[in-house]
Amino acid sequence: MVITLHSIPASPPGRCVVTTLHVLGLEFEEKHVNSVAKEHKKPAFLAMNPRGCFPVLTDGDFIIAESFAIAMYLCNKYENGENRLYPLEPEVRGKVDQLLFVGSVIYDSLLQYLNLLGVIYDGGVMAPEKLPSVYHALGLCEAFLQGDFMVEDHFTLADIFMSCGLYLLDLIDFNDYGAYPKTVAWLKRVRDWPYFKTANDKGMEELDNIYRPLLAKNTQNRSL
């Protein structure tokens, strides 16, 4: 039964799934989606995910989309032992679930502020009017962090997915973290986690190499 991940290395949600796969020690194949050629909007891909987005994961005959749902599925199916990424006790799992949905909101805010897809595919520029939502996201992290991790005293899916959007701030060298000391420490803790580094460093570099020059070019074009 082969696990195949359809994604691109630069995709933040895709990398959240890769981190999960690494922690669970699962072997998998990566199939790169030709996003420039809009492969994900074509019939073969839509047959896997009607929403036409990646990542999508296949596990034998089973197909599943939505990065959060993929990570939850992998844990439900393959995770064992203690200090789980996706704990079993309803109360603890509930906290993780809550933060996965909050993480989804945070990711969307960052995506909109950076206009990630617009810059990369449509000659767009950033959306400065969305900056308040970035501070709101940082404030949420600060409020939810009770200890070193988002839930319990070890890494869970909540840490993986809540941090995902905030890393995108590196693309613009954002530096205004003064009011969020717990968040800064936590982001560093997640970033230094070996599973996270292996899954993300290269992809993040790739995204940086795509986004930064395009943002500069598009911004310059707008001011001409």
Partner 1 sequence: MIRVHGNTILTCVIFLQIFEIHFSYSIRKTFKMVLKLYLMPASPPSRNALMVINALGLEHEIKPVNVAKGEQKQPEYLAVNPRGKIPALQDGEYTIAESRAIACYLCNKYEKNSENRLYPTCPQARGVVDQLLYASENMNDMVIGYLNVGGVIFGSAVVDEEKVTELHKALALANTYLGSNNYVAGEHLTIADFFTASPFIMAEELHDFNDYTNYPAVKAWINRVRALPYFDKTNNEGLAAIAKMYKDKLAANKAAAK
**Which residues of this chain interact with partner 1, rule CB under 8 A?**
50-51, 62, 64-66, 68-70, 72-73, 76-77, 90-91, 93-95, 97-98, 100-102, 104, 140, 143-144
Q: Is 142 helix (H, G, I), strand (E, B) or coil?
A: helix
Shortest reach from residue 213's CB to partner 1, in Å: 30
CB of 98 to partner 1, least distance (A): 4
Q: 18 or 141, CB closer to partner 1? A: 141
Tell me 148's DSSP state.
S
Q: How far is the CB of 90 from partner 1 (least distance, A)?
A: 4
Residue tagged 């939505």 (tokens):
66
In the complex, what is the shortest distance from the CB of residue 65 to partner 1, in angstroms, rounded to a whole number?
A: 6
Of 161 and 167, nearer to partner 1 (C-beta) is 161
CB of 168 vs partner 1, minimal distance in Å:
19
151 vs 204, beta carbon nearer partner 1: 151
Residues 157 and 97: their CA atoms lie apart, in Å, by 9
If the CB atoms of residues 72 and 171 are measured against partner 1, the closer one turns out to be 72
Sheet containing strand 56-59, strands side by side: 29-32, 3-7, 56-59, 62-65
- The dihedral over CA atoms of 172, 178, 179, 180, expressed in degrees to the nearest 10, equals 70
Pairing of strands 29-32, 3-7: parallel
Instruction: Show the tokens assigned to 97.
Output: 């679930």
Residue 120 CB, nearest approach to partner 1 (Å): 20
Closest to partner 1 by CB, 77 vs 217, is 77
- Distance, CA of 220 to CA of 224 (rounded, Å): 6
3-state SS assignment for residue 52:
coil
CA 145 to chain CA centroid, Å, is 19
